[in-house]
Structure 1
Amino acid sequence: MNKSVFTFLILFIVLSGCKSLQKTSKQDSKKDLQENAQAQIDSTELKKDSIIIALQDTVKRQEEVVINIHPKKADTITVIGVGDIMIGTNFPNEGYLPPDSGKYMLSSVAHVLKDADLTFGNQEGVILNEGGEAKSCSDPSLCYIFRSPEHLAQHYVNAGIDMMSLANNHAGDFGDTGRKNTMRVLDSLGIHHAGQLAQPFSIFEKDRIKYGFVAFSPNNGTQSINDMDAAVGLVQHLDSLTDIIIVSFHGGAEGKKYQHVTREREYFYGENRGNVYEFSHAMIDAGADIIFGHGPHVARAIEVYKNRFIAYSLGNFATYGRFNLRGENGLAPIAKVWILEDGSFIKGKIISALQKGAGIPEIDVNHGASQKIKELTDADFPESKIFIDPEGNIRYIQEQF
């Protein structure tokens, strides 16, 4: 091979290799560009996804804040009512106070009382440490007036009580001093109250439901159960401002002889105790949704009128030291009511309790209170559309079949 041919071959091989390398380099560059472009696309998509997730988290947190500020209304509302409460008096002496500052007075029933959106009770007597203008009484040892020391009221909060009636025959046991101090203490504890002429009703809101609470009795210094026009006007006023109206009344004669709802005006020791049947129906006609009665110191029948619940008397509940608790006087019914947001009755339950010893309520597994209320309801309201079973459950009759 001559030298020129050899040189040509060498140049051809070199040039071919360079061309091949150039092609490979271009392919690699193109691949790199494609990979870089894809990486940028992936990075952009990742950022986009991160932004979307961040936005979703922000919206979710904002929704949670809104929900916390404006919680959703409940589909149903539960309200509990009990009767007379007087958990110890230092008048006429401290011998009528419960031991251990009364801390066990409501502990056995607290879990039941707390299991509702609202819980109501009737405050018998005043909340006052000392002093006040005691009612005139020839023999203080036989004078039934009640002055509960302020520290005992904390047990109401601990037991879940939200509302108390101050309309009864013991609201003025220690004059204006007792009335004002009772309201002051309940206010300080966040317990809504009603019935005094100085404050016949309360309006408050819970879980976006606005409640109106008003109380009546035949006694001086309280909103009168016997002034029907004024009572109707108050309920109508509350109906224009609130979603649910709860009415309490202290009325009817006292004792075992007066367990029945007569549908007539009742008198006791010459005092006009009102026609509780007529009054309750008039209150519902005016816009009331639930009515809790007390005063007779014994349980009475229940009724559902125009789809609204009425308990004509819830008797004694936690009355320490100075009350007659023998037999039926010791029954302590707890009325629990389920209603819709418009106040319509869905169902109820009479949870039976019994006052033990000097007056400490405990759950009664024998259902004595519910059986008594069933007996009275069957007798006094034979036309009733509700049924009470042996365990105290209350339902419309048509739901039983």
Structure 2
Amino acid sequence: MKILWIVLSALSFSLSAIAAEESFVTISAVGDVMLGTDYPTDKLPNDQGRKLFKYSEAYIKTGDIRFANFEGTLFDGSKGAGSKSEGANRHLFRTPTEFARTFANAGFNVVSLANNHAMDFGVEGLYSTQQTLRSYQIQYSTKRGAEVAQFTVRGIRVALIATDFYPGPRSISAPEKTYQEIRELKKRFDVVIVSSHAGGEGSDALRTPNQTEYYMGENRGNSVAFARGAIDAGASLIIMHGPHVPRGLEVYKGHLVVYSMGNFATERGINILGTAGLAPLLLIKLDPKGKFQKGSITSFVQNREQGVIYDKTMGAFKLMQSLSYQDFAASAPQFDSTTSMIYPR
């Protein structure tokens, strides 16, 4: 808890600081969360995944907006129309709806459902996921272009939308409609946050190229071009996930881009070896116009026995710092390894 106190003090997140400095919004953000699956075989944890967040819950709850990318479905039914087909290297995640309580208790209040697992069990599975999240007052956004998660924080109006690499609405591969949506949202909201599921996957995808990426034959989009275009259209913050490993960060025109949050809390069925097991948790502070003020990267690591535990070696922080300097030498944020803080240049 000493580490948490240091981070919160540096970010001015204490109650006294909030009273003295009212015009800001904070976001706590993590990457992929998959609480366990019972399909095709039972790989569920015996505690409904509660141990996953035992050590990170206090950090998650420090944000006004508390975000994760939810991989899979909250669904108690069987495969129906529109379900994904099975095959080699094709995973279907079905998490019982009762597990949503664990997710809510951890503090999350908004998730992305724009990813390659949201439709694992077709429209019925997606509907169940949405309905279950609503029952726990957790907002969400899908790629369909209908849902906008909305918050008002200290008088600041905030919108969050989710995108992915598939064709159709909110696609980073054909982004013009998404850019137009951002422009329209910016007329109504002070801060527009864009989540994006994009990029290659695995240990070979640590670097962030400014070009279209492909994985298993799929066009996964150009993350850099999309992020910068979204900011040009009015986006305030870009949070990306999908590679299952952390990537670098940059500050573009005063706005933070996180090119991959990696995995955060995943049960059996997902690889957590090496860099795939690093679990960064970002705290980000934005001003009333959405400009990046400061933040922190708290390093956790996934452990099958203990859940997501604090990493004293700062593995995620050090990796994201190194990748930021390699891939975005002219636009990487400043990193302070003594406090785990990040700042605009």
Same fold (TM over 0.5): yes
Q: Tell whether the 8 Å contact from 1:333 to 1:353 is kept in structure 2 after alignment.
A: yes
Distance 1:102 1:208 in 2: 35
The CA deviation string for residues 228-263 of structure 1, in whole angstroms up to 9 with x for no partner, is 111101111111111111100000110111111111
Distance 1:249 1:83 in 2: 11
Distance 1:221 1:178, change over 3 A: farther
Indicate yes or no: 2:253 matched with 1:274: no
Q: Tell whether the 8 Å contact from 2:254 to 2:344 is kept in structure 1 after alignment.
A: no
Instruction: Give the structure 2 partner of residue 93 of structure 1.
Output: 41
Distance 1:266 1:143 in 2: 19
Paired residues for 1:254-333 under 5 Å:
254-333=201-280
The structure with more radius of gyration = 1
Distance 1:300 1:242, change over 3 A: same
The CA deviation string for residues 124-150 of structure 1, in whole angstroms up to 9 with x for no partner, is 0111012243422257xx741101111
Q: Larger RCO: Structure 1 or Structure 2 (Cα < 8 Å, ≥ 6 residues apart)?
A: 2
Distance 2:344 2:90 in 1: 45
Distance 1:385 1:149, change over 3 A: closer
Distance 1:138 1:277, change over 3 A: closer
CA-CA distance at 1:223 after TM superposition: 2.8
Q: Tell whether the 8 Å contact from 2:143 to 2:164 is kept in structure 1 after alignment.
A: no
CA-CA distance at 1:185 after TM superposition: 1.0
Instruction: Give the structure 1 partner of residue 151 of structure 2.
Output: 204
Paired residues for 1:135-284 under 5 Å:
135-138=84-87, 143-197=90-144, 199-219=146-166, 223-284=170-231
Unaligned runs of 5+ in 1: 1-70
CA-CA distance at 1:382 after TM superposition: 1.0
Distance 1:232 1:198 in 2: 12
Paired residues for 1:109-120 under 5 Å:
109-120=56-67
Distance 1:204 1:220 in 2: 28
Secondary structure class of the residue paired with 2:181: helix
Q: Tell whether the 8 Å contact from 2:70 to 2:112 is kept in structure 1 after alignment.
A: yes
Distance 2:332 2:265 in 1: 31
Greater share of residues in strand: 2
Amino-acid identity (%): 34
The CA deviation string for residues 301-345 of structure 1, in whole angstroms up to 9 with x for no partner, is 001111111100000001100111111110001111111111111
Moved more, 340-349 or 380-389: 380-389
Instruction: Give the structure 1 partner of residue 316 of structure 2.
Output: 369
The CA deviation string for residues 157-212 of structure 1, in whole angstroms up to 9 with x for no partner, is 11111110000111110000011111111111111111231634333334432211
User: Aligned to 2:22, which of 65, 74, 83?
Assistant: 74
The 4+ residue runs of structure 1 with deviation greater than 4 A are: none
Distance 1:179 1:220 in 2: 18
- One-letter code aligned to 1:362: I
Distance 1:203 1:389 in 2: 32
Indicate yes or no: 2:292 matched with 1:345: yes
Q: Normalized against structure 1, the TM-score is what?
A: 0.77
- One-letter code aligned to 1:330: G
Greater share of residues in helix: 1
